[in-house]
Structure 1
Amino acid sequence: MFHPSGVTIKFAGMGVNVKDLFDEDFLKRLEHLRLVSRKMRTGKNSGERRSPLKGQSVEFADFRNYSSGDDFRYIDWNSYARTEKLFVKLFMEEQDLLLNIFIDVSKSMSWGEPPKERLALQLAAAFSYLALAAYDRVAIAACSEQLAAYQAPLRGKTGIDQAWTFLAQLSFAGSTNLNQALLEYGRFSRGPGVALLISDLLSPHGFQDGVKFLQYLRQEVIVLQLLAPEEINPTLHGDWRLLDSESGESREISASPRLLKAYRKKLDDFTEANRDFCFRRGIGFLQVSSATPFEELLLQLLPRAGILA
């Protein structure tokens, strides 16, 4: 089994070795997972994912009549012996899938206990690993108020170190404009594929227009919304001065039961609107707490949501 070494991903100012995040047993289990693509996306290279195209791979698909210029190696001589007609064997072509990982690196992602950035980087690293181990291609885009950084598509297990090194160098800072960042990705689009957006979705201008653009680029979109436990169920009491981690704007509040109830209603409406938008457009959607145990998320929740299998 391929095992990257010496790569450090920094979370909330602390260096954490990848070996501490993914032990060898977990990586072995990860290799048995596959990203579920509801629509078959064909790539450029031979891989492990079956394409609807008929080519010259190992699995038989069908016959067709022989035409002048066809390769004699693919003639079915048994059929010729029975019918005295020439037929050519067709096979299922195996193609790789392009996985585009969009990770929100705005300042709000570094908030929470545990910080959302930790789970975001774990997810990006894990999805990179399982796709590259399956000889699919992986590109990674860091999103804040614009497209902050971009890793061009990598392929094969030799790309895992490079993908993880790219993630290790990301800095979580600045404001959020997911629409703008996703629109800027159009400059690097490499054709159809699967787009995985990892974000808290706390973008003042929304994310919907950017996601629509990804679908225009023939991307099958999956949205993973990460929220901190304190965002899902705040337990504040008394008077507080709240500070926006991105804009610096402050607001004084009195955390009464009535106010907390109104907040939870607002969050429920926000979540439901995001879920409805994704459902209407055939987009996979899952909201998770940053405190969710990672193995539970990868091995149970994401397969249950139909994102991994």
Structure 2
Amino acid sequence: MTKELLLQSEWQKRIGSSKLATKSKLRGQHKGSHRSNRFGSSMDFSDFREYHAGDDVRQVDWNVYARTEKYFIKRFLDEQEMRVHILLDASKSMVHPEKWLLARQLALALGQLVLQNDDRLSFSVISAQPVIPFRKKGATYKQAFAHTIASLQRPSLKDSFVQHAMKQLAKGQTVLILITDGLEPIAEWEALIQRLPRYAGDIRIIQIETQEEMKPNFTGDVELYDIETDEKLNISVSNQIIQQYINKKAEHEKKFQLLCAKYGVATIQLVAEEGFSSAFFHRLKKANWIM
């Protein structure tokens, strides 16, 4: 598979004019394309302050001195790189074709936003097959990252995505993005989410679900198959049972949202069938995740 099959050329052009937005204090120590809260040597002027012994005399503004007969130096905003880690869920609950396609498309598009702005990207996958983490900086690695995403195998991990997530994280990130369906038990999510603020200043979870997961449309005698445990269960599905499922799922989502809000984690829920263009250029932009 090639990146053209994941992202249309029209989408690529629009992605090229976008940026990943964040209010987090930038932490990278290397030069990048983002203004930090610190003062340094970029060309972006900030303000003046009085000259103190030991300051660089080259920063003295002589025009101000001519008007005030006082020494002032110019201050400039420093530029630092943004560090972004994208963590992708490749457990078996993500195996639905449209869900897995959208998850990879979003990972690819967000990763390219990071690389094209000369920032540092880390990408890792929780999957049954070992995948070497991708850690690169700069636009020259966009093609390599596209190849990494295109080479990912069909989700087959039977274990919990949440229980393995901590092994892939590194501290000192500006933004941490988790792409998952969020279906693991709330207790597991709480154990993970309460620890995430140690790793990044800006944490985001993208939940991808299918219409069928949100509201099943089948009734009668069916054999249910747990895709993660391989367990099978014969059941007669009625409207009452479907409503019980919907209520239980709504309760899970409410608890999940409250948990994320408690720890300052931003979330967005996407429907796989609505496709990449709606998810990326409408939903993420409306949420101010990209600009």
**What TM-score, normalized to structure 1?**
0.86
Pick the aligned partner of 1:192 from 150, 173, 185. 173
Q: Which has the higher helix share?
A: 2
Q: Structure 2: 5+ residue runs without aligned partners?
A: none
Moved more, 269-278 or 202-211: 202-211
Match of 2:250 in 1: 268
Cα deviation, residue 93, structure 1: 1.1
Separation (CA, whole Å) in 2 of partners of 1:192 and 1:20 = 30
Cα deviation, residue 262, structure 1: 0.7
Mapping 1:1-309, distance limit 5 Å? 8=1, 17-111=2-96, 114-144=97-127, 148-171=130-153, 172-186=155-169, 189-204=170-185, 206-309=188-291
Separation (CA, whole Å) in 1 of partners of 2:58 and 2:90 = 53
Instruction: Give the share of equivalent positions with the same residue, in percent.
Output: 30
* Alpha carbons 2:27, 2:172 under 8 Å: kept: no
Which amino acid in structure 2 is aligned with residue 135 of structure 1?
Answer: D
Which amino acid in structure 1 is aligned with residue 99 of structure 2?
Answer: K
Separation (CA, whole Å) in 1 of partners of 2:215 and 2:114 = 34
Separation (CA, whole Å) in 2 of partners of 1:300 and 1:288 = 11
Separation (CA, whole Å) in 2 of partners of 1:250 and 1:54 = 61
Cα deviation, residue 301, structure 1: 1.0
Moved more, 31-40 or 94-103: 31-40
Q: Structure 1: 5+ residue runs without aligned partners?
A: 1-7, 9-16
Task: Specify the SS of the correspondent of 2:188.
Answer: coil
Report how many residues are paired: 289
Match of 1:11 in 2: none
Separation (CA, whole Å) in 2 of partners of 1:63 and 1:128 = 37
**What TM-score, normalized to structure 2?**
0.91
Task: Specify the SS of the correspondent of 2:131.
Answer: strand
